[in-house]
Structure 1
Amino acid sequence: MREKILLIDGHSILNRAFYGLPDLTNAEGLHTNAIYGFLNILFKMVEEEKPDYLTVAFDLAAPTFRHKMYDAYKGTRKPMPHELRQQVPVMKDVLTAMGIPLLSKEGYEADDLLGTIAKRSEAKGMDVTVLSGDRDLLQLATDHICIRIPKTKGGKTTIEDYFAKDVEEAYQLTPLQIIELKALMGDTADNIPGLPGVGEKTATKLLLEYGSVENAHAHVEDIKPNKAKNAFLEHYDLAILSKELATICIDSPIEYDWEAARIHDLYTPDAYEFFKELEFKNFLSRFEETGNISKAEEYFKLLTDFTKTEEIFTLAKEKEEVGLELLEEKNQLLGLGLAYREGNNIEVHAILPQGFLTEDYLLDKAKMLCEQGKAVASLNIKAMLRHLDITHHTAMFDAQIAAYLLNPLKSEYTYDDIAREYLGEMLPAKEDLLGKLSYAKAALEKEEELAKSICYMAYTALKARQPLLDALEAVDMKKLYTDMEMPLLFTLSDMEKEGIRVNAEELKEYGEMLQVRITELEKNIWQQAGEEFNINSPKQLGVILFEKLQMPGGKKTKTGYSTAADVLEKLSGDYTLVADILEYRQLTKLKSTYADGLAGYIDKGGRIHSTFNQTITATGRISSTEPNLQNIPVRTKLGRLLRKVFIPKEGYVFLDADYSQIELRVLAHMSGDEKLIQAYREAQDIHRITASQVFHIPFEEVTELQRRNAKAVNFGIVYGISSFGLSQDLSITRKEAEQYIKNYFETYPKIKGFLDGLVQHAKENGYVSTMFGRRRPVPELKSSNFMQRSFGERVAMNSPIQGTAADIIKLAMIQVSHRLKEENLKSRLILQIHDELLIETAEDEIEQVSAILEQEMKGAADLSVSLEIDMHTGKSWYEAK
């Protein structure tokens, strides 16, 4: 039986994977999509081919002889994107770790080496498979050399196989005539010029008639059509050059050891470590149990016996550190996970509510452990606090929040991610154990797997506690974690429990009022359009506006005309119909999202309990979900009216306080710009004084328009606005906007230096920091894409400012909440909306709470300018705002 060798064109397959897969990055910000795609196809090929030998060939970075030939003709070669270039050395390291030999030689391209080894292997009596996306390699095909070319169609990758007969069937040419074909028609992908104006059809016809480039040229007067004839007469030298470029060298002076290429176990311990680092979870099941896969499950136990459970809790009570997980979904307790160290091992127990092991029993035991003062580690302490009335103590540890601080760019912080990154262990993810089942369904259908899932959570929380604390210490964020994020967790938990009261009847009336106006707008729109159509359908709307009514500015896409807000806003001033459509969209969104949407969240007590998230935004801002109460509209009159439905309970009022221009004040402090600091210290109208200085006019002569423009520049600078963005915002020319920004930086000279310094720091270190040490990585600055880099620069400028403002209000929230409790007040903090705090205040405590708000919000940070707040009371959120 013939042995088989598999030869892979490294750069070709990497390149294909890079452009064929969406961008992927690991925790370190390394792009990994090309590596992932390469490995995917490598494993597929090994499983299909079952080769005895395996080698991957790469081009060297230095230009080869054929590259130089092309460069001499063309002048330049397109550079490899940075995101792909950084993956090449990693790919080589991974292959080396798997024991796969790599092949490269100065002066020769990868396909020369593949051609040489393919022919030598065939001569040794082997069957050869060459994997490449380069069709030049078809010239190598024989009865024993198969060229396999990946092809993507409809989002699916298939592999085309070419032996000699397959080449002849597909191209009507012999494999060696593929060289001639490329010489005539060229190949832009392979940098082969070919003859101008000669396509594949004409080239094939010429070769079927004349056999080769040289023979065709010898009969040039007989060539038809005339276009091809003239191409031969004028550019024959190009055809000869192209033939040389297309010809693969099959006798390269490369040494090759077949025995070194023999496949052994690809799934080595070194390869496993690479796969973990690259976060290729899907591939890890391929690794046999070699000590690399976590054996944590050996110490997992599902407790069902009451007496044994009592013993375990008694034992855990004596431990200095425990991992504790309350698994809950929609406020239903589904299980408890408990982990503690026993000698060199970690014992882990899962307890599901059943029999005497009731929910109340488990909650009592959890509370007992939390109140012991011991170190209690969990993946989600706030979820635990929904069921337990526990005040903050420093020994409680939330692994998700710690992981978030260390890398705020991730979308989630699951136990398997944390274990992989901080413990070097690969644990099965929730999806591996439960599939797509919710925890509640898994409790009914997959009890054993659910128990394992709970165990992994408790195990990871306990074991990762110290590594996470060490990692925070290493980047100077431990204080941020202990003094800000952990106390805030308890404040947010209290806010979630309190909720906010809603007048359900008034909410219903608000929805009905919106519907009246929506119906009215619907009729007006149809009347102006001259027909009824689905206003919510962008396709139908595009046809009405840009085809039937012939409005200007129609941008046609694959799915029809764009009817995005920016397109319609440009038309709204000239067309009442478009203005009505924009209002219709706004009101239907208000009705569906708020008037109808909020109603479903009102509990029996008439209150809505939003969830406040600490681990969502990259800048450190708190977000609100289910429902999002931070996004209640304020810009339109109808939107603001929605706040009327939020009311305090009887005997209380709302006290609302928000910071005045906090981000600009933070900018003044962090930049150290004396002029901006002085303007704030003199309590001047900052936008008017900016207008005065930027437009070079006396302070008292500044018009309202000039003040508005200066305000746009002030806030735009904070967000790293470009001249184009400012010109769009102010409806001025780009040149005028450039001058505004130039004048601004001349007025406040230290601000430009500060912002440029942030970008430079991010480029050098990969991150920027807030005043309190919160880090925001900026991987976009390394992108080869100009738009991505520009976005990265704006992020680098804005994140320290926005993040510092977010940190300040967090500190204020913690202190305000603490003072309300410490002074035994009935009033409670119930809502945070970016720079605004809302307190449900007992009527007899208004004066005291107002003083607390003023002291704690103004004193939350020591800046070179004062922190100022605006404060109002009211019998609804609308009145208080």
Structure 2
Amino acid sequence: MSDAQSPAPTLLLVDGSSYLYRAFHAMPDLRAVPGDPASPATGAIRGMINMMQKLRKDVRADYAACVFDAKGPTFRDALYPAYKANRSPMPDDLRSQIGPIHEVVKLLGWRVLDVPGVEADDVIGTLAHTAAQQGITCIISSGDKDLSQLVNEHITVIDTMNDRRRDVAGVTAEFGVPPSLMLDYQTLVGDQVDNVPGVPKVGPKTAVKWLLEYGSLEALVARADEIKGVAGENLRNALEWLPKGRELLTIKTDCDLVEHVVGLPSLEALTIGGQDSEALKAFAETYGFKGLVKTLVQHDVPPELIEEHQAKAKPAGRAGGGSPGLFDEPDLSGSTERPSNLKYDTILTWAMFDDWLQRVLAADLVAVDTETTSLDEMRAEIVGISFSVKPGEAAYIPLRHAGPDAPEQLPFDEVLAKLKPWLENPKHAKLGQHVKYDRHVFANHGIEVQGYVHDTMLQSYVLEVHKPHGLASLAERHLGRQGISYEDLCGKGAHQIPFSQVDVAKAAEYSCEDSDQTLDVHLALWPQLQADDKLKFVYELEIASSEALYRIERNGVLIDAPTLAKQSHELGSRIHALEQEAYEIAGQPFNLSSPKQLGEIFFDKLGLPVIKKTATGARSTDEEVLEKLAEDYPLPAKILEHRSLSKLKGTYTDKLTLLTLPRTGRVHTHYAQAVAVTGRLSSNDPNLQNIPIRTPEGRRVREAFVAPPGHVIASADYSQIELRIMAHISGDEALLRAFHEGIDVHRATAAEVFSVDAAQVSSEQRRYAKVINFGLIYGMSAFGLAKALSIDNTAAKNYIARYFERFAGVKQYMDDTKAQAKAQGYVETVFGRRLYLPEINSPNGPRRSGAERAAINAPMQGTAADLIKLSMVAVQKALDADQRGTKMIMQVHDELVFEVPEGEVEWLKTSIPQLMAGVAELKVPLLAEVGVGPNWDKAH
């Protein structure tokens, strides 16, 4: 077939931003580890793969690209600050999947584009317009009706989800006007989703009527005086706005993409590629898509087909060669250029060191960053140190770089000795990114840094808790800068080299950039905190908490290895016995951890009822199913106990001794301060928050947390803290009275709900009341309450109704809080910490309901977190002021744990509760209780 007879080449453009939202809302809540809500969300990734594969199968194209919105503001935000102001923030579970989605789309053979400063629609418009000018057919896959304004004889929009084709005839039939008038139509009706007003009270029918009658918006505006009635008056009142509205709604077709793609008008760089099968296999394994591996590989494009496309793709116009244009070697990073005026020094001589030391000593504030041998702060050693004293200026001191090309470096010990007076002087103000880590690193070398007044990670955590707090994210989000990544320097995985092996020049640029960006981010964030007294207070609390947590981590806790070894042996024996008992019930050996084998034995062999199925239709044997079946059948109960004990053994009794730091003989947990959106701390290596305490075996693990000779363990925790916070926030008279009068609040609740005297409340009624009290704090529904109390839904509804009748203030608080959350997108703690709720206005019912429950509970959890941090800070100050031998060694939920010299026990029993009760003045008294014992378990 000759070229003249060949069909025109086709460009397929995918609206990636539209696709990923559709994938997210269409798919169930899939996780990399099925059933584990803490593992990464993968539903949108799976949905995106399915959609992209189907599109590639259904639409044959010669060129293709998937276009996403880039991070950061666009020109429209500058033009109209209220643009898209009504949109809810992107859900965290979707945001976390964007990186993997970009990765897998590339692996599937698609070119991925995201261009800063404009929207995906503008990039699509520019590429479609470029193709159309060459007579190339362009198909845009998107559900966004706004793209209809691009449609012409060469450009078609397809909506695969709704089986809709928007060509010239399709757009005219759907909207009543041809594509050439779509922009005029949109300008008149406005765009509620993007918060772009149109003419008030002018809907689609009126807009179509006017445009068909007058021919265009321009002609309509010229004859606006002829339009009668309220509609005419509204049109005339909107005349001043309409040009800006039209500009906001116009999809650009002339974007400058030179820095991102090269080679226009040739489209060769967008030629469809083959899949990277091996990388796809690894990706599928990583995200738990084992069933997709075979499918992905089967859908790969054969090399001969790629060659056929490349040979065919020779449209009219310049094809290759010439000067760099839009499509050669595209830059898909989306980053802005690095500032050109950076001045970074590498300090290799004493003269340069002395010069920089004087600059550091004279500076009002210095950003400090360490490069180290490990992410484990208790084991990490310094490789180099960088400083920044003003934006764009920084210096790096290499100290332990090795290798044949490493230059001679200043003596390690001498450099630290010269820096120590400055580092340990609290009058010299310093800042960093995650300063708690750097404090540990310096302490490993005998330097106790003082004067850390700012931490950019914590600034971000307070201002924008729902966003990432890493330096790279902060720099890109607030400075428009993207720097060198650690992987760029050191590689990945098994091929990653230690930082000490990195070329000094590259290491210096990387470390100086970190310090420089940290100072620059601080200058962007600190004014925002200063402008809001409540947020500034919360930030100052986080800085003080970082100091206290550093001390707790440094102290560590003594572990009794023989006790753990004995517990591990006993658990191992019980686990083995449970396996034998399970085999006997099943009538055969089987793998107790295999869902497939469990399903076969439960449902095929033993005939147990199927409670629910997985997303793929398999019969579920998850925790919830096992708990339900265990009520009536012995085997599921054995499986549950086996799982519980195996986890306890593997996570704690076997592992705790291995986590002991040799030089201290103690376990030093790491407290993550900027993770939980409520302000609560989390801990890892080991995780002290999740030691199970509802079983005897779990509680026994705490017996291994011991005190050295001459000391005891003490535990101080708040009593019924969240109920007290509920009383304070809601102002409910009945709750306030119960706490002020020292009445058992659960007994008081039972008396109200069951209409009996407090003295007549039974233990069962009190138990019901306790479940109701705590359940409603967490937004529990009637269904949830019925399940928790093993009663029917009608009874549960009646209990809740009676509760709200008697505690009307609580009901009012819940209603007001949900309304406030919907209006502003966040709720606040008593102290002003903001807790954002991205899903509070979600169209997805279950997700919106979850956000509403979180809105009720978050202020209480967050206030409790603030209170324990205030206590931690106050207690540490008192210990230091009195020069006590008592040490804080753990913080777990609402509890502080101490290692106490026997001679200070009486002081602690009196002083610590007073300190904890006095950190804030609420409408009800705070009560802290202390227990003492030889180990953590006995201290309760």
For 2:897, what is the secondary structure of its paired residue?
Answer: strand
The answer to whether the 8 Å contact 2:710/2:902 transfers is yes
Q: Deviations over 1:353-378 (max 9, x none)?
A: 25663554454455433334222111
In structure 1, the residue matched to 2:798 is: 739
What one-letter code is carried by the residue in structure 1 that aligns with 2:469?
Y
What one-letter code is carried by the residue in structure 2 that aligns with 1:382?
K
In structure 2, the residue matched to 1:798 is: 857
Which of 523, 541, 554 is residue 484 of structure 1 equivalent to? Answer: 541
| 2:472 corresponds to 1:416 | yes
State the number of aligned residues: 712
Q: Identify the range of structure 1 (413-422 vs 737-746) with the bigger mean alpha-carbon deviation.
A: 413-422
Q: Deviations over 1:232-269 (max 9, x none)?
A: xxxxxxxxx9999799999978999xxx9986732589
Structure 1 residue 723, shift from structure 2 partner: 1.4
In structure 2, the residue matched to 1:498 is: 555
For 1:878, what is the secondary structure of its paired residue?
Answer: coil
Which of 508, 523, 526 is residue 466 of structure 1 equivalent to? Answer: 523
The answer to whether the 8 Å contact 2:17/2:120 transfers is no
- CA 533–358 in structure 1, closer or farther in 2 if over 3 Å, else same: farther
Take 1:49 and 1:574, find their aligned partners in 2: how far apart are those partners? 60
What one-letter code is carried by the residue in structure 1 that aligns with 2:410?
L
In structure 1, the residue matched to 2:809 is: 750
Structure 1 residue 503, shift from structure 2 partner: 0.6
Which of 158, 163, 167 is residue 189 of structure 1 equivalent to? Answer: 163
Take 1:482 and 1:92, find their aligned partners in 2: how far apart are those partners? 31
Take 1:95 and 1:577, find their aligned partners in 2: how far apart are those partners? 56
| 2:483 corresponds to 1:427 | yes
What one-letter code is carried by the residue in structure 1 that aligns with 2:139?
L
For 1:782, what is the secondary structure of its paired residue?
Answer: coil
Structure 1 residue 102, shift from structure 2 partner: 8.2
In structure 1, the residue matched to 2:846 is: 787
In structure 1, the residue matched to 2:513 is: 456
Structure 1 residue 580, shift from structure 2 partner: 1.4
The answer to whether the 8 Å contact 2:335/2:481 transfers is no
For 1:550, what is the secondary structure of its paired residue?
Answer: coil
- CA 731–21 in structure 1, closer or farther in 2 if over 3 Å, else same: closer
- CA 350–489 in structure 1, closer or farther in 2 if over 3 Å, else same: same
Take 1:382 and 1:720, find their aligned partners in 2: how far apart are those partners? 35
What one-letter code is carried by the residue in structure 2 that aligns with 1:131?
I
> 5 Å matches for 1:57-456?
94-95=118-119, 126-133=134-141, 189-190=163-164, 265-266=256-257, 292-295=336-339, 298-328=342-372, 329=374, 330=376, 331-341=379-389, 345-353=392-400, 357-372=410-425, 373-386=427-440, 387-388=442-443, 396-410=453-467, 412-436=468-492, 441-445=498-502, 447-456=504-513
- CA 588–264 in structure 1, closer or farther in 2 if over 3 Å, else same: closer
In structure 2, the residue matched to 1:19 is: 22
- CA 98–374 in structure 1, closer or farther in 2 if over 3 Å, else same: farther
Which of 540, 561, 565 is residue 623 of structure 2 equivalent to? Answer: 565
Q: Deviations over 1:245-303 (max 9, x none)?
A: 799999978999xxx9986732589xxxxxxxxxxxxx9x9679999522268422333
Take 1:764 and 1:247, find their aligned partners in 2: how far apart are those partners? 32
For 1:781, what is the secondary structure of its paired residue?
Answer: coil
- CA 481–431 in structure 1, closer or farther in 2 if over 3 Å, else same: farther
Which of 648, 662, 665 is residue 590 of structure 1 equivalent to? Answer: 648
The answer to whether the 8 Å contact 1:542/1:563 transfers is yes
Take 2:333 and 2:16, find their aligned partners in 1: how far apart are those partners? 30
Q: Deviations over 1:504-546 (max 9, x none)?
A: 1111111001011111111111011000000111111111111
Q: Identify the range of structure 1 (398-407 vs 603-612) with the bigger mean alpha-carbon deviation.
A: 603-612
Structure 1 residue 777, shift from structure 2 partner: 0.9
Structure 1 residue 563, shift from structure 2 partner: 1.2
Structure 1 residue 22, shift from structure 2 partner: 8.7
What one-letter code is carried by the residue in structure 2 that aligns with 1:708?
R
Q: Deviations over 1:538-557 (max 9, x none)?
A: 11111111111001134343
In structure 1, the residue matched to 2:737 is: 678
Take 1:871 and 1:725, find their aligned partners in 2: how far apart are those partners? 33
What one-letter code is carried by the residue in structure 2 that aligns with 1:880?
A
In structure 2, the residue matched to 1:694 is: 753
For 1:776, what is the secondary structure of its paired residue?
Answer: strand
In structure 2, the residue matched to 1:169 is: none
Q: Identify the range of structure 1 (866-875 vs 648-657) with the bigger mean alpha-carbon deviation.
A: 866-875
- CA 800–394 in structure 1, closer or farther in 2 if over 3 Å, else same: farther
Structure 1 residue 632, shift from structure 2 partner: 1.5
Take 2:635 and 2:834, find their aligned partners in 1: how far apart are those partners? 48
The answer to whether the 8 Å contact 1:350/1:454 transfers is no
TM-score between both structures, scaled by the size of structure 1: 0.72
- CA 264–851 in structure 1, closer or farther in 2 if over 3 Å, else same: closer
Structure 1 residue 422, shift from structure 2 partner: 2.7
In structure 2, the residue matched to 1:509 is: 566
Q: Deviations over 1:720-774 (max 9, x none)?
A: 1111211111111222222211111111111111122111111111111111111
For 2:163, what is the secondary structure of its paired residue?
Answer: helix
In structure 1, the residue matched to 2:938 is: 879
What one-letter code is carried by the residue in structure 2 that aligns with 1:396?
V
For 2:553, what is the secondary structure of its paired residue?
Answer: helix
Take 1:493 and 1:712, find their aligned partners in 2: how far apart are those partners? 37
- CA 573–470 in structure 1, closer or farther in 2 if over 3 Å, else same: same
For 2:118, what is the secondary structure of its paired residue?
Answer: helix
Q: Deviations over 1:2-43 (max 9, x none)?
A: 9x999989897764454357999xxxxxxx999x99xx99xx
What one-letter code is carried by the residue in structure 1 that aligns with 2:354?
E
Take 1:291 and 1:616, find their aligned partners in 2: how far apart are those partners? 26
Take 1:599 and 1:555, find their aligned partners in 2: how far apart are those partners? 40
> 5 Å matches for 1:684-833?
684-833=743-892
What one-letter code is carried by the residue in structure 1 that aligns with 2:367?
G
| 2:658 corresponds to 1:600 | yes
Structure 1 residue 333, shift from structure 2 partner: 2.5
Take 1:290 and 1:717, find their aligned partners in 2: how far apart are those partners? 46
The answer to whether the 8 Å contact 2:538/2:833 transfers is no
Take 2:460 and 2:90, find their aligned partners in 1: how far apart are those partners? 28
Q: Deviations over 1:585-632 (max 9, x none)?
A: 111111101111212101234310001121010000111111111221
What one-letter code is carried by the residue in structure 2 that aligns with 1:580?
K
Take 1:771 and 1:243, find their aligned partners in 2: how far apart are those partners? 53
Structure 1 residue 94, shift from structure 2 partner: 2.2
In structure 2, the residue matched to 1:64 is: none
What one-letter code is carried by the residue in structure 2 that aligns with 1:539?
K
Q: Identify the range of structure 1 (671-680 vs 558-567) with the bigger mean alpha-carbon deviation.
A: 558-567
Q: Deviations over 1:50-75 (max 9, x none)?
A: 99xxxxxxxxxxxxxxxxxxxxxxxx
- CA 245–440 in structure 1, closer or farther in 2 if over 3 Å, else same: same
Q: Structure 2: which 5+ residue stretches go unaligned? A: 28-43, 66-86, 96-113, 144-151, 185-250, 261-326, 402-407
The answer to whether the 8 Å contact 1:12/1:133 transfers is yes
- CA 516–825 in structure 1, closer or farther in 2 if over 3 Å, else same: same
The answer to whether the 8 Å contact 2:171/2:179 transfers is no
For 1:348, what is the secondary structure of its paired residue?
Answer: strand
The answer to whether the 8 Å contact 2:629/2:636 transfers is yes
Q: Structure 1: which 5+ residue stretches go unaligned? A: 25-31, 52-80, 104-113, 136-143, 153-186, 193-240, 270-282
* Structure with max Cα Rg: 1
Take 2:25 and 2:417, find their aligned partners in 1: how far apart are those partners? 47
